[in-house]
Amino acid sequence: MSCTQVTTKKYWGAIAFQLLLVGTLLLWGSHPANAVRGGKYFPNVPLINQDGEILHFYDDIIKGKVVSINFMFTSCGDACPLETAKLRQVQDLLGDHVGKNVYMYSITVDPDRDTPAALKAYMKKFKVRPGWQFLTGKKEDIDLIRKKLAMYREDEQELGDHAINFVLGNEATGQWLKRTPFDLPETIVAVLLGRLQTRSLAALPAYSAQTLPAVRTGADLFNTRCVSCHTIGQGDKLGPDLLGVVSKRERAWLVRWLMEPDVMLAEKDPLAIALYNQYNKLPMPNMRLQHQDALDLIEYMQVESKQVKVQAANSP
Ligand code: HEC
| pLDDT tens digits, 213-234 | 333 578 888 988 899 899 999 9
Beta carbon of 182 within 6 Å of any ligand 1 atom: no
User: Among the atoms of ligand 1, which is closest to the Cα of residue 249?
Assistant: 27
Beta carbon of 275 within 6 Å of any ligand 1 atom: yes
Do residues 94 and 189 lie in contact, with contact meaning Cβ atoms separated by under 8 Å? yes
Which one, of 298, 216, 221, 206, lies nearest residue 256 by Cα? 298
- pLDDT for the residue numbered 35: 45
Beta carbon of 255 within 6 Å of any ligand 1 atom: no
**Region 286-304: what's the mean pLDDT?**
88
What is the 229 CA–ligand 1 centroid distance (Å)? Answer: 7
For ligand 1, mutation pick of 125, 245, 273, 284 (most atoms within 8 Å of CB): 284
User: Among the atoms of ligand 1, which is closest to the Cα of residue 281?
Assistant: 17
Beta carbon of 162 within 6 Å of any ligand 1 atom: no
Burial class (CB in 10 A: 0-12, 13-18, 19+), 105: buried
Which one, of 221, 177, 220, 170, lies nearest residue 196 by Cα? 170
- pLDDT for the residue numbered 278: 95
What is the 230 CA–ligand 1 centroid distance (Å)? Answer: 7
Residue with CA closest to ligand 1 atom 36: 226
> What does the alpha-carbon distance between residue 267 and residue 277 come to, in Å, rounded to a whole number?
15
| pLDDT tens digits, 171-221 | 888 888 888 878 888 888 888 888 788 765 544 443 333 333 333 578 888
User: Among the atoms of ligand 1, which is closest to the Cα of residue 85?
Assistant: 1
Which one, of 214, 178, 194, lies nearest residue 304 by Cα? 214
Residue with CA closest to ligand 1 atom 12: 239
- pLDDT for the residue numbered 214: 34
Beta carbon of 93 within 6 Å of any ligand 1 atom: no
Beta carbon of 283 within 6 Å of any ligand 1 atom: yes
- pLDDT for the residue numbered 216: 56
> What does the alpha-carbon distance between residue 146 and residue 203 come to, in Å, rounded to a whole number?
33
| pLDDT tens digits, 248-275 | 999 999 999 999 999 999 999 999 999 9
Do residues 45 and 145 lie in contact, with contact meaning Cβ atoms separated by under 8 Å? yes
- pLDDT for the residue numbered 256: 94
Greatest distance between any 2 Cα atoms in the chain: 66
- pLDDT for the residue numbered 57: 96
- pLDDT for the residue numbered 199: 66
> What does the alpha-carbon distance between residue 273 and residue 284 come to, in Å, rounded to a whole number?
11
| pLDDT tens digits, 87-121 | 999 999 999 899 989 999 999 999 999 999 999 99
Which one, of 136, 101, 104, lies nearest residue 120 by Cα? 136
Beta carbon of 80 within 6 Å of any ligand 1 atom: no
Residue with CA closest to ligand 1 atom 8: 284
Beta carbon of 85 within 6 Å of any ligand 1 atom: yes
Beta carbon of 228 within 6 Å of any ligand 1 atom: yes
pLDDT at 240 over 80: yes
Residue with CA closest to ligand 1 atom 2: 229
Beta carbon of 230 within 6 Å of any ligand 1 atom: yes
Instruction: Tell me the pLDDT band of 246, cut-offs 50, 70 and 90.
Output: very high
Which percentage of the chain shows pLDDT scores above 70? 80
> What does the alpha-carbon distance between residue 258 and residue 279 come to, in Å, rounded to a whole number?
16
| pLDDT tens digits, 126-164 | 999 888 999 999 999 999 999 998 888 777 777 767 777
Cα within 13 Å of Cα(27), Cβ side: 20
